[in-house]
Structure 1
Amino acid sequence: MGATRVLIIANPAAGTVTPALVWELVRVCRSGVRDVSVRWTTGPGEATGIARKAAESAPPSVAERALALPTAMSATVSAAAPARRTVVVAVGGDGTVREVAAGLASAWRGAGPTPLLIVPAGTANSCYHTLFGTAPWQSVVSSALREPVVRWLDLARVAGRLVFAGASAGISPRAIHEARALTSHVGPSRYHAALVDLIPRYRPYPGRVTVDDRLIHSGSTLLVNVGGSRYRGGHFELLPRSLPDDGLLDVCVLGGEHSVAEMMELTRTGAHLSRPGVVYERGRRVRIERTDGRPLWFEHDGEVLPLGPTEYTVDVVPAAVPALATPSLTAAA
């Protein structure tokens, strides 16, 4: 049974969100769902509250209502009452998706799971790329609403915050920070332009990385990437072996002995794993440190955390949020 209600949560501050895009999304949704509504966010964190409220106010499914009734009545309800499912669509970048996912993951589930669907309209859109590749969002939305398949995706937790796409230390947060000033660019080109400008100036940092208390790296560090998403920065396949629902965090460490430009090019196709000094591991807890006492540049879901700490610990949160996938992609996974 497909969705019967769609709530669109759109972030007007995200890279490529426009009223025209949201209206096109409404049109696509209404081709199969009558009850479609839109909420525009007005500030950071608001999407979490909107998503949580939507999940907690979703009507119970047929099966859940039937369980609460005597046997004879439950059979009548199952036959006569159509199943209802609310789907929450996040329109924005990885930060917007993270906020919506956090709201759905923290909601009281007495009314059943409320799944997430992503429409990419940010700077990087790594979450969408990981789940749907390069498929146009219009076809993904139509297919997912018509034949919904729910996958329970893992999240992570760092510094008391939930993480969706992933987290990183090193050159990535520096590039994200500098991309904010490139107002002449929009979408993924903004991040890529910041990287091109930063590469000649960037210097690796002395660091240490442990996975489930096992030391996997110590020394000069170009980049550490942690998460369930295969892609970061839009199209950099830093974690090519990662699955978003295997209950583990994938970790990739690029040593500082490598050329920044070369490694950034290799990560576009996952070819960096064949280079010496590149470490790839899996685990449930990852500790990332800077060992010279200086602040560690660190981000998650495209948001750079305030400078100060010299280390961060990332923990997996297995099967934390339901998300819609298309039948073909689910079979391929």
Structure 2
Amino acid sequence: MTSEITLFVNPTAGRGRGAHAAQPAASALRDRGFRVRTVIGEDAPDALRRAREAVEGGTGALIAVGGDGMVSLALQAVAGTRTPLGVIAVGTGNDFARALSLPVREPGAAGRLVAEALKETRTRSIDLGRVGGTWFGTVLASGFDSRVNDRGNRMRWPAGRFKYDLAMAAELAAFKPVPYRITLDGGDVHETEATLVAVGNGSSYGGGMRICAGAEPDDGLFDITVVGPCSRTTLLKVFPRVYKGTHLDHPAVTVHRAATVELVAPGTTGYADGEPLGALPLTAECVPGAVRVLAP
């Protein structure tokens, strides 16, 4: 392995934590004898282009410094290659890091873990989801949760997570269940009305909401959580249980497991790792061992 390591940095992640987190991460790597190169793009496409150039150039590892959005970009560069991925999780949600028990908002500890894993050639192979040419590591969301994302992304005020709390309140006032056709592994078809359908390679999204609480990132299968039709009152009662994963016991919730899933629903956008994929229909495939992550 080459001793040159690439830090892939989002300086605005976590309201500026990304820029500060790069320093202790770089120090930890240099202290272990690695040469560190930092990549910061002018925008997401430019950042991804630079990350891919680093991978193609033989960098020893690509270390994403930021939140789940930065990890998502990094996955597009390293998935299907032998280049390991490191994660310095300092964003708002950090669900990818949570799923793998990596340090969250502790850049020094995360940097030391990455440096030690590189020295010991210690990686964990995990699955990724793939929709067309786009990879994802955590959850593909559709339905109520994606509508909240749609509305939140259109809002210019307020900033931060409060924006999405307001978006959720607005969507609750207007939302109705959507007719879905869900096809599992190319043959098992479920036609149902649903409040949301979440396809989990990892267990959580939105900063710890364990929507697919039983999902394991290395079993070759998605956990597909279907929340059926329910009233606004029921949704409000069930929602707090998502943080512990106990919502899966509710009679309105069904969980399927499959390696591929096709989702068809009118007027519904899919989001994966918090990033928009586009309108349904979408087909997601679980790709075993698609990336090697520097891990404990």
Give the TM-score, by structure 1 length: 0.77
Alignment CA distance shift 1:29-1:196 (3 Å): farther
Alignment RMSD, CA only? 2.6
Alignment CA distance shift 1:214-1:257 (3 Å): farther
Alpha-carbon distance in structure 1 between the residues aligned to 2:144 and 2:12: 24
Find 2:291's aligned residue among 321, 324, 328: 321
Matches within 5 A, 1:1-333: 4-12=3-11, 14-17=13-16, 18-58=18-58, 86-107=60-81, 113-132=82-101, 135=104, 136-148=106-118, 149-180=122-153, 181=155, 183-186=157-160, 188=161, 190-215=163-188, 217-257=190-230, 259-290=234-265, 294-307=266-279, 310-326=280-296
How far does residue 267 in structure 1 lie from its aligned partner after superposition?
1.1
Indicate the percent of aligned positions where both proteins have the same amino acid: 26
Partners of 1:191 and 1:233 within 8 A in 2:
no
Q: Secondary structure at the match of 1:16?
A: helix
Q: Secondary structure at the match of 1:98?
A: helix
Alignment CA distance shift 1:194-1:103 (3 Å): same
How far does residue 93 in structure 1 lie from its aligned partner after superposition?
2.6
Name the aligned partner's letter for residue 62 of structure 2: V
What number of residue pairs does the alignment pair up?
A: 288
How far does residue 39 in structure 1 lie from its aligned partner after superposition?
0.9
Name the aligned partner's letter for residue 159 of structure 2: H
Alpha-carbon distance in structure 1 between the residues aligned to 2:187 and 2:180: 15
Alpha-carbon distance in structure 1 between the residues aligned to 2:238 and 2:50: 40
Unpaired segments of 5 or more residues in structure 1? Answer: 60-85, 108-112, 327-333
Partners of 1:217 and 1:253 within 8 A in 2:
no
Partners of 1:26 and 1:36 within 8 A in 2:
yes
Name the aligned partner's letter for residue 246 of structure 2: A
Q: Secondary structure at the match of 2:195?
A: strand
Partners of 1:216 and 1:279 within 8 A in 2:
no
Alignment CA distance shift 1:138-1:306 (3 Å): same
Q: Secondary structure at the match of 1:199?
A: helix
Alpha-carbon distance in structure 1 between the residues aligned to 2:56 and 2:10: 21
Partners of 1:16 and 1:92 within 8 A in 2:
no
Alpha-carbon distance in structure 2 between the residues aligned to 1:35 and 1:175: 42
Alpha-carbon distance in structure 1 between the residues aligned to 2:196 and 2:24: 38
- Which has the greater radius of gyration? 1
Alpha-carbon distance in structure 2 between the residues aligned to 1:133 and 1:147: 12
Partners of 2:21 and 2:107 within 8 A in 1:
no
How far does residue 13 in structure 1 lie from its aligned partner after superposition?
5.0
